Amino acid sequence: MSKRILVCSIILFSFLLGNFNIELGFALKPFMITSFFLIISLSLSNIRSIQLSNFDYMFFTLSIYGGITAMFSPDIIAGLRLFILSQLCMVCYLSTTLYFTQLKYSVQEINHSILITGFLFNIFSFIFYFIGLYTVLNDGDFGNFSGQDIFGLTIDRGLPRMIGLTFDPNFFVMFNIIFFYFLAFKKRNKFESFTFILVALAIIFSLSRGGILAIALPIFYNFFQSFIRLKISKRAIRISIFVIILILAIALYMGDFLYIILEKRFGNLGSGSGRTSLINTMFELIASNPLFGVGWHNFRYYNNEITGNYHYGHNTFLELLTELGLVGFFLYTFFLIFVFHRAYKISSIEPTLSYLKYSFWAFMISMFFLSSIVNEVFFLYMILIKTYYNALTHKI
């Protein structure tokens, strides 16, 4: 492994360690620390300016608008904290992108770094998960740890769910989207195949309905598209067979416990784990102020006032429509369109990078089940897009 790839892997890995932060009134995360050193490094070089993309301008506009709405909201502090976080993430994202482009990282170097990062993220996640599982089983009863996070494990309604190095099983799957699709449709060597198995198992062990759906739907789309064109590749068939065998093997191994999991995770689809009440509250708030919203990061305040529950909306798009209204919703929509257009353009130039398209759709599906307007893993995705584009077109 070259020094360049090692440095790139460390930087990428730092974006996945948000759960390991220092509380300073805000969460000081590892990627912020690495970005600080990158800014120092860049300041010592002859950097005069950086050319921003359309989606950079659009997200910056969305953030400024969100900050303005926060000033007129009942929970001003919450809104301003998200505004500051969004600006900080933008600085970290731009400094990382500029660092990679100035050093002229190639597509091969970025790909190698993604593989190493995916392996490290999941191998450490499994280590934390099994330590947590051993701790719980040593006590003998999942019920004694209900609602608790134990290392890389969380006990949710009596079920052991994998959170790895993150804080939530649904976000854990979201953090694995890039790695899954990077490995899914490529010709893999032994190390890549082993890493792919780690990623697939980790996603299954999360027991995340929304996360698994976000992973599965783009695969089905790819398979269906190949079927329509009568070009079902051997690789697509192998992936399908692998997933089926993996699920069957887990089912046979887990026995009755699998039935309990299915009953608890899918037996309450109608209630959506309390999401029905959240959606009703969001629609009520949207109707009260459809144009400008109730203020950035203020849904939890209103939800607490209305229902007595201080919960997120668990749907990025509805929550954004609630907080920022139609104005903010359209800004965010254009931001996403610009991001996808760049991902599509990259995959057109270099078909081996088509995983960026599938990752984008998986992110969109996962956002239907999460509150993630400002999320470091999507900024990581944008870093990859800009770095790939620079490597392919020699532009920043």
What is the chain's pLDDT, residue by residue, as a tens digit (396 residues)? 789 999 999 999 999 998 888 877 667 899 999 999 998 888 887 766 677 899 999 999 999 999 999 999 999 999 999 999 999 999 999 999 999 988 889 999 999 999 999 999 999 999 999 999 888 888 767 777 777 888 899 988 778 899 999 989 999 999 999 999 999 888 889 999 999 999 999 999 998 888 888 888 888 777 766 655 555 556 556 666 666 666 555 555 444 444 444 455 455 554 445 677 888 889 999 998 999 999 999 999 988 888 888 788 888 999 999 999 999 999 999 999 999 999 999 999 999 999 999 999 999 999 988 888 888 999 999 999 999 999 998 754
DSSP 273: G
**Helices and strands (H and E) in the chain: how many:** 15, 5
Beta strand ranges found along the chain (DSSP E)? 22-23, 27-28, 149-150, 153-156, 159-162
pTM of the model: 0.87
Task: Give the pLDDT score at 203.
Answer: 93
Which pair of tokens denotes residue 233?
A: 């590749």
Q: Which of 329, 331, 275, 267 is CA-nearest to residue 303?
A: 275
Evaluate whether 324 touches 296 at the Cβ level (below 8 Å). yes
Q: In sequence order, what are the beta bridge partners of 159? A: 156
Which pair of tokens denotes residue 303?
A: 């939800």
Evaluate whether 316 touches 278 at the Cβ level (below 8 Å). no
Evaluate whether 149 touches 163 at the Cβ level (below 8 Å). yes
Task: Give the pLDDT score at 258.
Answer: 47
Task: Give the pLDDT score at 231.
Answer: 53
Residue 272, Ramachandran bin (φ over 0: left; ψ between -120 and 50: alpha; else beta) = left
